[in-house]
Amino acid sequence: MSSTYLSGGYQVLLGRSAAQLEDWAVAEGQPAFRGRQLHDWLYAKGARSLEVITVLPKAWRISLQQRGITVGRLRELSRAVAEDSTTKLLLSTVDGETIETVGIPTQQRLTVCLSSQVGCSMACRFCATGKGGLQRSLATHEIIDQVLSIREAMDRRPSHVVFMGMGEPLLNTEAVLAAIRCLNIDLGIGQRRITLSTVGVPHTLPQLAELALKRLGRAQFTLAVSLHAPNQELRESLIPAARFYPLDALLEDCRHYLAVTGRRVSFEYILLGGLNDQPQHAEELADRVGGFQSHVNLIAYNPIDDEPFKRPTLGTIEAFRRVLERRGVAVSVRASRGLDQNAACGQLRRQSQPQ
């Protein structure tokens, strides 16, 4: 089961549904309602250990602990809070790895930016996460914990979730889809408020559409594809993995995903000052996605060490947006958050590691 830790040899409870917990309690010789009690303590109360779930019989709790069965929560190592209240947590896994998650608040919503892997193998030049390579994928409970940890840290219920943190979600599809199911059913976050962001992995988008329908019964979450360039040559210079996935093939797979799910695709585009942010780039991008049931989300580059990229000017961003609008492309500009606390993916983790 996806909630069994991949190397520790023990079982965790976080990530299981109410029905799964009921069946498990019965298999343990307990009445089914014990499973429902566990579900309430795991998701509504955010229990960090079996010891605090005092509604369970003490002898059973001790037995579970002796057999290595655990809730499966992560440990907070550090916290960075920006002037705009954006909150980044560095969390430790049981095998000593570290991952990041970010809470991004507004008056109307609290969005949690989730990691799906420890590190990343895609090596995008503008991303701090890829600088350290990939250690492993996250288990379902490690993904879910990030939402619970942000909820605790910010004392507020998350309303939206984006898989835009560390890692490539489509290299961990099974655990990510299991996490989406859990977020939706067990934590009550609507699928339409969940976004899965990918840089593009060959052959995975058609598979994602089919698996989502099979695992979730419907595919209502938003698919966000990171383009960051309007042509193959420039995209390869920014995303080395793009050489294995031509832009034309990626866009064709996006059209297939749209046909299967009926959900429009969002395209993420990081604007890098003087490199991919000129009006001619906007015109070329419009040629690529025009007539496509899609939406373009423009993102101003968040500077990281070791790379010469620059943040675009406000005027450049606005000019790029106007070109797309004039060409009939649905477009928005994402507000930058947490700049004073290095909120770009992977920065907090890199700072915590020995140099």
3-state SS, 263-308, equals: CCEEEEEEECCCCCCCHHHHHHHHHHHCCCCEEEEEEECCCCCCCC
Q: What is the pLDDT of residue 340?
A: 52
- Residue 337's pLDDT is what? 64
- CB distance 238 to 228 below 8 Å: yes
Can you point out the beta strands (E) in the chain? 75-81, 87-92, 98-105, 110-113, 117-119, 134-137, 160-163, 194-198, 222-226, 265-271, 294-300, 331-334
Query: So which residues are the catalytic ones?
Result: 100, 345
Mean pLDDT of 153-157: 98
Q: Is the pLDDT score of 6 beyond 70?
A: no
Closest C-alpha to 310, from 340, 275, 281: 275
pLDDT tens figures, 208-259: 999 999 999 989 999 999 999 999 999 999 999 999 999 999 999 999 999 9
Banded pLDDT at 299 (limits 50, 70, 90):
very high
Q: For the chain, give the percent of residues with pLDDT over 90.
A: 84
Q: Between β-strands 331-334 and 294-300, what pairing exists: parallel, antiparallel or unpaired?
A: parallel
What residue segments make up the domains of the chain, in order of their start? 1-73, 75-352
pLDDT over threshold 50, residue 3: no
CA distance 283 to 297: 15
What does the mean pLDDT of the chain come to? 91
More confident of the two residues 260 and 338:
260
> Would you say residue 347 has pLDDT above 60?
no
Q: Is the pLDDT of residue 311 over 50?
A: yes
pLDDT over 50 at 176, yes or no: yes
Mean pLDDT of 153-181: 97
- C-alpha atoms less than 13 angstroms from C-alpha of 264 in its C-beta half-sphere: 13
pLDDT in tens, 121-154: 998 988 888 778 999 999 999 999 999 999 999 9
Q: How far apart are CA 333 and CA 347, in angstroms?
A: 22
CATH of 1-73, one of 3.50.50.60, 1.10.150.530, 1.10.760.10, 1.10.490.10: 1.10.150.530
Question: pLDDT tier at 303 (50, 70, 90 boundaries)?
Answer: confident
Query: How many other C-beta atoms can be found within 10 angstroms of the C-beta atom of residue 54?
Result: 11
Fold held by 75-352: TIM Barrel (3.20.20)
- Locate tokens 């990918």: which residue? 198
- Percent of the chain scoring above 70 in pLDDT: 91
Let me know if the fold of 1-73 is the same as that of 75-352: no
**Do strands 222-226 and 294-300 pair parallel, antiparallel, or not at all (unpaired)?**
unpaired
pLDDT at 304 > cutoff 90: no
Q: Provide mean pLDDT across the span 158-169.
A: 97
CA distances from 31 to 35, 44, 57, 206 (A): 8, 21, 11, 42
Residue 316 is which amino acid?
T
- Residue 96's SS3 state is coil
Question: In this predicted model, which residue has the larger pLDDT, 176 or 341?
Answer: 176
What pLDDT does residue 132 have? 80
The span from the CA of 216 to the CA of 190, in Å, is 12
| pLDDT, average across residues 298-318 | 89
